[in-house]
Structure 1
Amino acid sequence: MAKEEEFLRENEGNGAVKGHQVSRSDFPPDFVFGVATSAYQIEGACNEGGRGPSIWDAFSHTEGKILDKSNGDVAVDHYHRYMEDIDLIAKLGFGAYRFSISWSRIFPDGLGTKVNDEGITFYNNIINALLEKGIKPFVTLYHWDLPLHLDESMGGWLNKKIVEYFALYADTCFANFGDRVKNWITINEPLQTSVNGYITGIFAPGRSENSLVEPYLASHHQILAHAAAVSVYRSKYKDIQGGQVGLVVDCEWSEANSDKIEDKSAAARRLDFQIGWYLDPLYYGEYPKAMRERLGDQLPKFSEEDKKLLLNPMDFIGLNHYTTRFISHVTDSNEENSYYGAQQMERIVEWEGGKVIGEKAASEWLYVVPWGLRKVLNYVSKKYATPIYITENGMDDEDDDKLPLHEMLDDKLRVRYFKEYIASVAGAIKDGVDVRGYFAWSLVDNFEWAQGYTKRFGLVYVDYKNGLTRHPKSSAYWFSRFLKADNGKKGKED
């Protein structure tokens, strides 16, 4: 029997489409299904409503940084069309919406000296519109769009002073929105900010020249900023508002490429370098041993005062997950930077016989591997014993304006992706994992960072050439049937 067949047989139910089709009734009644977006990717209105510039405004306007030379100045104009988008969320049957607040809409310079009332009003309008439709708001405070002034004047995430500024910003959001928002996320994917912002330089602020130091400082300060915001919420707001606060980490599942101890160790190491980097300090007060052994003094140290702030457990872990890799140990890495080189591993996308690990989406890094989600959920649950929300999960298509609209809307692979990954979540719940919600990425096609508008992750197609008109795709209608199906009618949503 080939390794692939044997593996999938052993892991039956991890998303393989066999027998039972996933149904809403496979999940607890209070399980939350939602969609997710982020401010810079959808809002636009970059110079409206008192908003200050962010690092992504500067980065996207820098020659050669964005694949199609685009930017988020207009994006999909959610700033003016939020009611239309919220109506779509409601019509499709989702019970929650995860969105981010643009820090520079609240404090244009990031410093917390003067609140921008127009920004407060804009987000109040969104929150109130969601609640009127019975949709729970899940609010992310930081999704990569740091106020430009903080980066230019003090080095942004490289300066420990930013912890205070983030706490001030978080405090302002809790004070203005926390009477209605009960689910808060401090920071989205600190790994991507650190690696892509300070090692590869493919994300804002686009730095790569000091990759032995800067990514570790940026991570250190993001961890402390999260902890400071949690401390503010716990001390000032939790008793009155009764909400919960979490952090979102991202993880590509790492499956050992063989039963060799070296490969198993490499896979474990890879997970430490992805999520242990952020969660270990918050649960155990220190960076993972594997990172400390390999990076030494490149990793900053937490003071005793820092550790008191850190060990303030989160109410939930947000997990963004898209894909999986096989991991094998390598003695000598060709990687020049220490982050990848220190991991001593190779990421592999093929089974033993040469077959690809899963169908490929548009992005070069994204393969459809549903069984990986069940595995990563079990891993996080066992290691950190905290409720989990899947805060992003989805796949992209290539933008192709030569295809007729009806073909772009009939996104069969995305339908299959969601069916199988959601089945994997149901499997993890059967394993005893405390998963409380699932958010599809993304509600609408949008500005996909360095890829510009060349990749489409949305459940809803946005016609960029014809007035940004919204058109729900087949996947949106699949979700709608899945969510609205009577509990007793298993499989009817298909």
Structure 2
Amino acid sequence: MQLVAFDRRRGKERIREMNLKYKFPAKFWWGAATSGPQSEGRFYKKNDNVFDYWYDTEPQDFFNRVGPNVASNFYNSYKEDISMMKQIGLNSVRTSIQWTRLIKDFETAEVDEDAVCFYNKVIDEFLKQGILPVMNLHHFDLPVELYKKYGGWESKKVVDMFVLFAKKCFELFGDRVKHWVTFNEPMVIVEGEYLYQFHYPKLVDGKKAVQVLYNLNLASAKVIEVFHKSVCAQNGGEIGIVLNLTPSYPRSQEEKDVKAANFVEDFFNRSFLDTAVKGKFTESLVETLKKDNVLWESTDEELKTIHDNTVDFLGVNYYQPRRAKAKEEPFDESKGWMPDKYFDDYKLPGCRMNPYRGWEIYPQAIYDIAINIRDNYNNISWYLSENGMGVEGEEKYIKEDGSIDDQYRIDFYEEHLSWLHKAIEEGSNCFGFHAWTPIDCWSWSNAYKNRYGYIAVDLATQIKTIKKSGYWIKKVAAQNGF
């Protein structure tokens, strides 16, 4: 009787799978992304990154004064956390190796043995649970010592120290980690630290911003060069970059609006996308920066390094579109050069919004991104490396049994995935979907204001609870579709 019942159930599952509206390619990644500084806590960490320092000196800048000291306690609860990730069906997870945890001496790249032990255990636990670890090398966690001493990413000396750190990671963990990422959202470093003051050191300096943009591209290319010469690559490993792409839509098809939107694409998207995939900056961006006398300092040798060392795959973080219009008032030159000289942001009347983040919800953009990659970037192998719905006060959706009914998150994902599926059907070479994030995590100055996880964390007790979306992704992963 048990065998008969099992056969009937399996038969029903096969029928249901055949009737899925959205079926994804074989071996598709169904996973989630987090980072070391947002999940681990500062336990036993010998060095501070810029966010540790910022919180220690200006805790009032952080929502509810919650800092990175404990975060989601991953340092202490990684086994249980990874087990929960397995429980909700994730087959891959991206996190990061903290430069400030692994390295004891940044000049020599001498490692902290406790940190080596920790990351070895984390990687081994992922593999034990059947989850593919994707390791990122930089997730906004610049050592504050290197900012104070050299100016951080303003300095090419820091670029070379980052390469030493990356090389050490490949040597230590490359026998088991096959998928690596150089940077997560490098444009956010440029925007947050040097243009719009939402990350420490909160500067407004367009010329420095442009040099940092260049240096980050150079750092990524140099790390890729080291990787491709390493045993990692010889053993079938791959290295990519994760970019936050915010497609820029013009207010109208008038020439002035189209021109403004094209500059936004050039500066905020193509400045990392074209270098990562094609090995060169767009001519239009270089011409504009040169005309304005803010072009980065570079050498022919460095530009050749960027040209010759492109990514094996691409990660795309997508949350919102960007809409641009021609400037309607003269640009204020008092603060020096800014990219805003060439555009104004435009809010589409009547657009859908996530009120907690102030972001437009526009799922169709993921299709536009996918087709752009297909048609203009050699149809490079890529995956949706972050997508998510941040909600403030999510505890109001807790039901009597303690579960969180986040149907809004499921709806958000299904809508985005339906557009992704359409692009895949039309030939875009996408191999996976990672949500932000597996477990509610600390999010820079926003701390835990907006929750994103499949799994909730109670900050006071560190008790973790699977949300409705966690059970949804388990079913989606099992069926490879929905």
TM-score scaled by structure 1? 0.87
Tell me, in whole angstroms, the C-alpha distance in 2 between the residues paired with 1:239 and 1:146.
26
- Whichever residue aligns with residue 388 of structure 1, its letter is W
Note the C-alpha offset of 1:170.
0.5
The answer to whether structure 1 residue 141 and structure 2 residue 137 are counterparts is yes
Distance 1:275 1:154 in 2: 27
2:220 paired with 1:223: no
Call closer, same or farther: CA 1:325–1:307 in 2, change over 3 Å: closer
Unaligned stretches of 5+ residues in structure 1? 1-19
Contact 2:193 2:202 in 1 (8 A): yes
Aligned match for 1:274, one of 249, 268, 278: 268
- Please state if 1:194 is matched with 2:190: yes
Deviation at 1:97, TM superposition (A): 0.6
Structure 2 contact 43–70 (Cα < 8 Å) conserved:
no
Q: Secondary structure at the match of 2:453?
A: coil
Q: Which of residues 476, 479, 488 is equivalent to 2:470?
A: 476
Give the superposition deviation at 1:144: 0.6
Q: How far has the Cα of 1:136 moved from its partner? A: 0.5
Flag the structure with higher helix content: 2
Q: 1:346: Cα distance to partner?
A: 2.5
Match of 2:30 among 29, 33, 39: 33
Match of 1:165 in 2: 161
Deviation of 1:305 (Å): 0.5
CA-CA distance at 1:361 after TM superposition: 4.6
Identify the match of residue 78 of structure 2 among 78, 82, 85. Answer: 82
Instruction: Give 1:75 shift.
Output: 0.7
> In the aligned structure 2, how far is the partner of 1:22 from the partner of 1:410?
26
Offset of residue 451 of structure 1: 1.0
**Residue deviations 1:446-473 (CA, integer Å, cap 9, x gap):** 11111122111111111113x1111111
Deviation larger for 326-335 or 221-230: 326-335
- Higher deviation after alignment, 283-292 or 420-429: 283-292
Give the 3 Å change call, closer, same or farther, for CA 149–109 of structure 1 in structure 2.
farther
Letter of the structure 1 residue corresponding to residue 240 of structure 2: G
Alignment correspondent of 2:122: 126
For residues 467 and 336 of structure 2, what CA distance do their matches in structure 1 show? 41
The answer for the alignment partner of 1:383 in structure 2 is 376
Cα-to-partner distance string for 1:316-351 (whole Å, 9 max, x where unaligned): 11111111243322254656663342332323232x
Q: How far does the alpha carbon of each residue in 1:108-135 deviate from its partner, in whole angstroms, 9 at most, with x for none?
A: 3433342111111111111111111111
Aligned-residue offset at 1:424? 1.3
How far is 1:51 from its partner? 3.2
Deviates more, 1:246-255 or 1:95-104: 246-255
Number of residue pairs aligned between Structure 1 and Structure 2 = 458
Structure 1 CA distance for aligned equivalents of residues 376 and 19 of structure 2: 27
Partner AA of 2:274 in structure 1: D
Q: After the TM superposition, which residues 336-355 of structure 1 pair with which residues of structure 2 at under 5 Å, given as runs?
A: 338-350=337-349, 355=350
The one of 312, 316, 331 equivalent to 2:313 is 316
The worse-fitting range, judged by mean Cα deviation, of 281-290 and 24-33 is: 281-290
Any idea what the Cα deviations from partners look like across 1:422-466, whole Å, max 9, x if unmatched?
A: 11111111121111111100111111111122111111111113x
CA distance in structure 1 between the aligned counterparts of 2:399 and 2:146, rounded to whole angstroms = 42
Aligned to 1:358: 352
Shift of 1:73: 0.5
Q: How does 1:3-42 map to 2 (within 5 A)?
A: 23=20, 26-42=23-39
CA change 1:458–1:239 in 2 (3 A) is closer
Describe the SS at the equivalent of 1:98. strand
Q: Judge conservation of contact 1:54–1:104 (CA < 8 Å) in 2.
A: yes
Alignment of 1:338-487 (within 5 A): 338-350=337-349, 355=350, 357-364=351-358, 366-385=359-378, 386-399=380-393, 404=398, 409-465=404-460, 467-485=461-479
Give yes or no for contact 2:86–2:129 (8 Å, CA) kept in 1.
yes
Aligned equivalents of 1:22, 1:87: Cα separation in 2:
31
Letter paired with 1:451: N
Whole-angstrom CA distance in 2 between matches of 1:443 and 1:135: 13
Unaligned runs of 5+ in 2: 1-16
Contact 2:395 2:404 in 1 (8 A): no
Q: Is the 8 A contact 1:325 1:349 kept in 2?
A: no
> Cα 1:422–1:216, aligned 2, differ >3 Å: closer, same or farther?
same
Q: CA deviation at 1:280?
A: 2.6
Secondary structure class of the residue paired with 1:247: strand
Q: Deviations over 1:123-179 (max 9, x none)?
A: 111111111111111100000111222112211111111121111101110011111
Identity %: 28
> Could you say what the CA RMSD is over the residues aligned between the two structures, in angstroms?
2.3
Contact 1:22 1:422 in 2 (8 A): no
Whether 1:107 aligns to 2:90 is no
Q: Write out per-residue CA displacement over residues 341-384 of structure 1, whole angstroms, 9 at most, x where no aligned residue.
A: 2332323232xxxx2x22425212x2321111111121233222
- Rounded to whole Å, the distance in 2 between the matches of 1:248 and 1:239 is 19
